[in-house]
Amino acid sequence: MSRPDTTDAVLRALAEPRRREILSLLARDEVSVGRLAEEFDVTRSAVSQHLRVLEDAGLVTRRSAGTRNFYRSRPEGLAGLRAYLDDTWAASLDAARRLVEIEVGVLEADGTEKDDRASA
């Protein structure tokens, strides 16, 4: 999966509030599907479906022990989303900085540096 595809999958997975709650629980400890189902007012099958979406997005990992499945979060699964947000935030901050520099007269309206010699 390329970075945009991975980021999109993570965003889709996290768009559902119950999945965010599940991920929060899994961030603290490895948990069985049955124990997760006890935490929510949904069936074990519904929890399994949520876990499948989180696993497909790379946000959780599964370990089988006999007939039981245990899940835990994968913090590195958020790396693509974190990079996307960092890039977006950095670009927004750069744009804001340029607007302020134009406002205070450091830059021309086109974003080029003012030539102070012209006003001297």
**What's the rounded Cα separation, in Å, for the pair 75 and 95?**
30
* pTM assigned to the model: 0.71
Which CATH number covers residue 47? 1.10.10.10
Nearest CA-CA partner of 71 in 84, 54, 85, 83: 54
Express each pLDDT in 4-45 by its tens digit.
Answer: 578 899 999 999 999 999 999 999 999 999 999 999 989 999
How crowded is residue 77: how many other Cβ atoms within 10 Å of its Cβ? 21
Sequence length of the chain is: 120
Express each pLDDT in 74-100 by its tens digit.
Answer: 989 888 888 888 888 877 777 787 778
- 69 shares a domain with 38: yes
pLDDT of residue 2: 45
- 41 shares a domain with 93: no
The DSSP annotation for 45-64 comes to HHHHHHHHHHHHTTSEEEEE
Task: Indicate the pLDDT class of residue 54, thresholds 50, 70 and 90.
Answer: very high
Residues with Cβ within 8 Å of 39's Cβ and at least 6 positions away in sequence, in order, are: 21, 25
Where in the sequence is the domain holding 106, given as residue range(s)? 80-119
